[in-house]
Amino acid sequence: MNILFVIPIFNDWASFRHLVNDIDATLAGFDGSATILAIDDGSSVEVDRAQWAGSAFQRVARVDIVRLACNLGHQKAITIGLSLASKRDGVDAVVVMDGDGEDDPADLPRLLEALARRQAPIVLAHRAKRSEGRVFRVFYAIYKSLFRRLTGVGLSFGNYSAMTVAAARRLSFMPNLWNSLPATCLRSKLPIHTVSTIRGRRYEGQPKMNFVSLILHGMQAITVFSDTVLVRLSLAAMAVTGIAALGVVIIRFSGSDWMIPGWASNMIGFLALSLLTVLFGLLSTSLLTLQERSNMPMIPHLHADMYVQSIDTLVE
């Protein structure tokens, strides 16, 4: 099996070196070879080529650095890497993983085995146990619940995945891939298989993603299902307003002595006005979303190359 790895990197070249060593050791019992695409997302720190001089690996046949013209962010770097991977010849599987060690290379055999058994064209690593702090876990649980209620599907996995080249090519033609790989996998309608994993330890340094970045990351995944979200919000707004109006009517005819004359009609009028305001806002947003679909979107497979400044070989 010839495997192509897509690994986004921003300055953390020391961790990337550890990761390549661990990937090579993990694949020692596999037939075939591995090629690694390090997607340099506009790093301000250059890789130390002296540390890689004379490197000899057992399974890793080649390490290329894809330098992007500017910093685009984690998800967009992955998108460009997947688009490039889908165009390579002689590749049997594409693996996407982070370069800091939190996507444990020890889980690779199970991901690749599930893919080789053709359980699904996309195999995703599901974190069976979170190792972050309690506050993070609470907010993450709230986010997963909100995501399911807004989109109708569950999202319990990240970018760590293995897929066929055909699946990578299909994803690379979906504009939503720019926003979120996991959500686009769900939107693609391709069969998905999950493998339970435990978060690995970072090789070096501290996580770079802060609280605001995490919120933006979650919102990007929700935007992949923007049409579904708009319909569900519209139905929820009508349901809440209807229930509130029904409550006003019940109280109005309950014969309570404390009611001010005319308050019920005022409340119903206020609720109707609020509902119309919300519905017009959602309708306008829906029409804009549908209008955007008629425009030519940025398709990763066709437009990713414009962001690539150069491709340099680090190891061969």
Instruction: Report the predicted TM-score, pTM, of the whole model to 2 decimal places.
Output: 0.84
List the single range of 81-90, 127-136, 225-234 with lowest mean pLDDT: 127-136
Average pLDDT for residues 249-273, to the nearest whole number? 65
Backbone φ and ψ for 52, nearest 5 degrees, come out as -100, -10
For 3-35, give the DSSP string: EEEEEEESS-HHHHHHHHHHHHHHGGGSSS-EE
d(CA 236, CA 81): 39
The tokens of 185 are what? 């996998």
pLDDT in tens, 160-217: 999 999 999 999 999 999 999 999 999 999 999 999 998 888 888 776 666 677 778 7
pLDDT in tens, 127-152: 776 656 677 778 878 888 888 988 88
pLDDT at residue 52 tops 90: no
Q: Residue 254's pLDDT is what?
A: 67
Share of the chain above pLDDT 70, in %: 86
